[in-house]
Structure 1
Amino acid sequence: MNKVKSGLSLAVVMAMTATSVACSSGSQTATTTTTTSPSPSTPVKAAEKEKPKEFKMTLRHIEIRDTAKSNLAILTSVVKATEAEVPGLKFELDGVEDVVNRDTKLKAEMQAGSPPPIFDLFGGADTLNYSKAGRLLDLTPILTELGLKDKFMNLNEFTVDGKIYGLPRSGFVEGVFYNKKMFADAGVQVPKTWDEFLKVCEAIKAKGITPIAMGGGAGDGWVINMLLNTLFVRIGGPQVQDGFATGKSKWTDPAVVEAFKKLEELKTKGYIDKNVIATKYSDGQARFYTGQAAMLFDGSWAASAIKSPKSIVANDASFFNFPNMGGGGDDMINGGWSNGYGFSSKLNENELKAVKSFIKNFYTEANQKIALKESGNIPALKLTDIGDATGLIAEIVQAQLSAKKGAFPAFDALVSPAVKKTLEATSEELIGGKITAQKAAEKMQAAQDAK
């Protein structure tokens, strides 16, 4: 992930001319007569305005959790503004859980050639595959038309052969949320190295508190993979996961096997929630913000839950980048701009007008600052400042800025969906004690070879 920097140029969004409907006016005089005298003419009537023909567009989004209410509010306001600008437009919002959308619903729609006009899209491999199949609208000329071409922080994950096929809603970073009070009570500080991290975990555990909250079961194996992703990049450097895309890297390479072993160690020593495999992501997250665990490895988006009314740790929560491990990925942070919106390549004239209006209304500095302050969403646009974001949100942004070597993207933006799904199942087996680190690596390499 490229760093969010203060002082970056203000995103100037070109105003988009609202389509107007021409109407005609005229007068009509009617006269009636009797056998005695003519009646006066009727009043002149203006012709009624012709109503624009209504057309509906589905907008697929993933803002369905309670913790996404702020993001949904932004989307709703953009929808209303766009409907007001485009005569006849009526959006139909289709809220779908993110994993279901990406791995099931959208995948089937893309295979059938019938995705919604606007939909949540993941960058990297998804964008590459769908663009090659001709399913995605080329946004390159539209961004030029709207004056947005150079306003995004990073569009790499949505760019294929120099053309832009998607726009990130926001960026993200992944790291460790922690309870400052619990750390103080245990007499520990934010760890800078792996050995220090283990000592922190041991001190927290000695207090009878779960060191690391995690919900990675019941189909949420991707949660475990967030931590695993950071481990193998910390040890082997970003070139390890870059090599997964080309076949240069093997899952059985020493750095990757060692990452599996480190993950296994955290679970074996009782540092990760013992119920991780039986716990959903949202429930694991809740164990942290309800004060049942000292740490939570999660993405910046988790800030909205930690600050929510359900949280009892909002004033005690802070954030740090995962500690260095003495490898090629030290002083980096896991992050990127990989979740956003894509648009169908099969749009009629009115739908294309609606898409342009939607992009113009959604991608504004004001919306980005609201999302940063209320949900912890790392801005996708270059901002002049971070607005009035303070506390936990400001600490997340500072952690990103402090990563001296920048950011590395999530591995699942670089591998095939089949490899991603296999790793989710494999990680659950590993952390559940059903498979060893070496066997996990071998299983993954077999999946990589079969793709």
Structure 2
Amino acid sequence: MKKSFVVTMAAALSLSLLAGCGAGGADNASGGAAPKADAGKAGEKVKLSIWHNYTGEDLRAKTMRSLIDQYKKDHPNVELDVQGIPPDGYRPRLKTVAAANEMPDLFVMWPGVMTKEFVSGDLLQPINELLDSKQEWKNNFMPGSFDDFTIDGKTYSAPMALSPTSILFYNKEIFNKYNVQPPKTWDDMMKLVDTFKKNNVTPIALGNKAAWVAQSSILSSLADRVTGTDWFLKAVEQNGAKFTDPEFVQSLTYLQQLGKAGAFQDGFNSIDNTQMEQMFAQGKAAMMIDGGWALTNLAANASKEALANMAVTVLPSMPNGKGDPNTLAGVVGTGLGMSKKVAGAQKQAAYDLIYALSGPEAQKAILDGNNLVSYKAELDTTKASPIFAEVYKMMGTVKRTPVYDGKLSSSAADVVNNGLQELLMGGKPEDIAKKIQDAAAKAVGK
């Protein structure tokens, strides 16, 4: 999780002319096992199910659905049962079928904790055979791309995106109107909140209905700046750090300061992140703290004028912080997991679909849809919105730090999410820190 974007993006840019959109054409390079013929093209009937969360009208969702449709056309003998589940309800549905050991054949899943939990539940099978059969594709991913999908040397998915979670978006017109600059320090941020409040402008749009936004997009970066990454990783393992430590309580206190100062609009716990993005795009807030996924939503729904008026930066540094302020919390994006039960011709059909959705052509299509990828592909600036191009450039200048729900157990992450809702409604930081600590300790058996 501590791999540097500086390294990965520099590699991407320096190799982009060589990699291009045809990077994976020579599938059998470097001595990998020869891939089998595509299932579904040789006449054998195969049934395959896939669950995804690409139900929206953003460019990435449309891109992924079109790739699935193309797979259907290319594999007429594969009977594909596709279920699209809206993002906010997707994880709970997936956890429900996982608990019952009734997983679909393929499903969009997250790196880190979800992968670990599914592997420990004996629900997944690795895709090393597929990766090794297509060495040039495998080797064109950025360094560290497979780390959070790999356990004990076995890799369970290939990432289909790159997700920084804590980008600070700001409205240049509003900032110019009040003659202010993006915040470099926490004091700058609080002064900005005060300036915008005095002028009846919502300082920061927030859509925390699903509870993960405050955690993933705000706290993960804010707390890292206060505690440093090493402290957080120790606290996750409950080895030399606890969430009741003063530095974490201070992190919660800083977040609550924003709430008490009126940084967020009324009803922030009753709208979702898509509504938050719409609010920001419509000029109803001066700032928004959101992830890379916002870029494809904004490209699909915001006007050209609105997009041209957006700019980005990182969250400000924190007083006496132990963490590097030139960072973004983030993870490699989701990938397709494959059920342990998939076998025979069905397995080859599943491999073909994984490759169709995460191979070189798919990675280029995803990038062209204004979504960051952890694959070495050249950005076509004619297809990129100005704000996407700016974020793409920024990725080459910052390091990546962990996202809380990418490292904590799902049960502990839920406690964080619910605790932050409570915190922003006036709950005591010490009490919420105790709940998080109890959940984290329980998760690791301490």
Shorter-chain TM-score range? 0.7 to 0.9
Separation in structure 2 between the aligned mates of residue 21 and residue 424 of structure 1, nearest angstrom: 46
Q: Please show how residues 241-320 of structure 1 align to structure 2 within 5 Å.
A: 241-248=232-239, 249-311=241-303, 313-320=306-313
Separation in structure 1 between the aligned mates of residue 162 and residue 394 of structure 2, nearest angstrom: 14
Q: Classify 1:445/1:113 alpha carbon distance in 2 versus 1 (closer, same or farther; 3 Å).
A: same
Partner of 2:409: 416
Separation in structure 2 between the aligned mates of residue 365 and residue 402 of structure 1, nearest angstrom: 25
1:400 Cα deviation (Å)? 1.9
Q: Classify 1:362/1:266 alpha carbon distance in 2 versus 1 (closer, same or farther; 3 Å).
A: same
Partner of 1:239: 230
2:368 matched to 1:354? no
Q: Classify 1:87/1:331 alpha carbon distance in 2 versus 1 (closer, same or farther; 3 Å).
A: same
Alpha-carbon deviations, 1:305-339, whole Å to 9, x = none?
Answer: 32334556222111111122242322221112042
Determine which structure has the larger helix proportion and give its number: 2
CA contact (8 A) 1:181 1:316 kept: yes
Partner of 1:7: 14
1:232 Cα deviation (Å)? 0.8
2:96 matched to 1:108? yes
Separation in structure 2 between the aligned mates of residue 129 and residue 20 of structure 1, nearest angstrom: 32
Alpha-carbon deviations, 1:385-421, whole Å to 9, x = none?
Answer: 3222351011112222121xx1112111111111111
CA contact (8 A) 2:227 2:321 kept: yes
CA contact (8 A) 2:40 2:77 kept: no
1:182 Cα deviation (Å)? 0.5
* Number of residue pairs the alignment of both structures matches: 412
Query: Aligned letter for 2:61?
Result: L
Separation in structure 1 between the aligned mates of residue 41 and residue 290 of structure 2, nearest angstrom: 49
Partner of 1:42: none
Q: Please show how residues 149-168 of structure 1 align to structure 2 within 5 Å.
A: 149-153=138-142, 154-168=145-159
1:371 Cα deviation (Å)? 2.3
Query: Aligned letter for 1:12?
Result: G
Instruction: Tell me which moved more, 220-229 or 80-89.
Output: 80-89
Alpha-carbon deviations, 1:62-96, whole Å to 9, x = none?
Answer: 111233xx223322332244334445102222111
Residue segments in structure 1 that go unaligned for 5+ positions in a row: 23-51
1:206 Cα deviation (Å)? 2.3
2:321 to 324, 327, 331: 327
Query: Aligned letter for 1:91?
Result: L
2:102 matched to 1:142? no
Residue segments in structure 2 that go unaligned for 5+ positions in a row: 28-34
Separation in structure 1 between the aligned mates of residue 351 and residue 379 of structure 2, nearest angstrom: 26
1:53 Cα deviation (Å)? 5.2
Q: Classify 1:215/1:198 alpha carbon distance in 2 versus 1 (closer, same or farther; 3 Å).
A: same
Query: Aligned letter for 1:141?
Result: E
1:395 to 364, 385, 390: 390
Alpha-carbon deviations, 1:339-374, whole Å to 9, x = none?
Answer: 221111211322212122123322244433332343
1:184 to 168, 176, 195: 176
Query: Aligned letter for 1:224?
Result: A
Give the secondary-structure state (helix, strand or coil) at the position aligned to 1:64. coil
Q: Classify 1:304/1:338 alpha carbon distance in 2 versus 1 (closer, same or farther; 3 Å).
A: closer
Partner of 1:336: 331
Separation in structure 2 between the aligned mates of residue 297 and residue 239 of structure 1, nearest angstrom: 24
Separation in structure 2 between the aligned mates of residue 84 and residue 283 of structure 1, nearest angstrom: 35
Query: Aligned letter for 1:88?
Result: N
1:243 Cα deviation (Å)? 1.7
1:116 Cα deviation (Å)? 0.8
Which TM-score applies when normalising by structure 1? 0.86
Alpha-carbon deviations, 1:162-183, whole Å to 9, x = none?
Answer: 1101221101112111111011
Detail structure 1 runs of 4+ shifted over 6 Å in the superposition: none
Partner of 1:369: 364
CA contact (8 A) 1:78 1:358 kept: no
The structure whose Rg is larger is 1
Partner of 1:47: none
Partner of 1:213: 205
Separation in structure 2 between the aligned mates of residue 270 and residue 432 of structure 1, nearest angstrom: 11
1:19 Cα deviation (Å)? 5.2
Separation in structure 1 between the aligned mates of residue 40 and residue 364 of structure 2, nearest angstrom: 31
Separation in structure 2 between the aligned mates of residue 440 and residue 232 of structure 1, nearest angstrom: 14
Give the secondary-structure state (helix, strand or coil) at the position aligned to 1:149. helix
Which TM-score applies when normalising by structure 2? 0.86
Partner of 2:220: 229
Give the secondary-structure state (helix, strand or coil) at the position aligned to 2:332. strand
Q: Classify 1:141/1:335 alpha carbon distance in 2 versus 1 (closer, same or farther; 3 Å).
A: same
Alpha-carbon deviations, 1:129-155, whole Å to 9, x = none?
Answer: 211222112111210102233222211
Q: What is the percent sequence identity of the aligned residues?
A: 24
Give the secondary-structure state (helix, strand or coil) at the position aligned to 1:252. coil
Q: Classify 1:285/1:72 alpha carbon distance in 2 versus 1 (closer, same or farther; 3 Å).
A: closer
Partner of 1:39: none
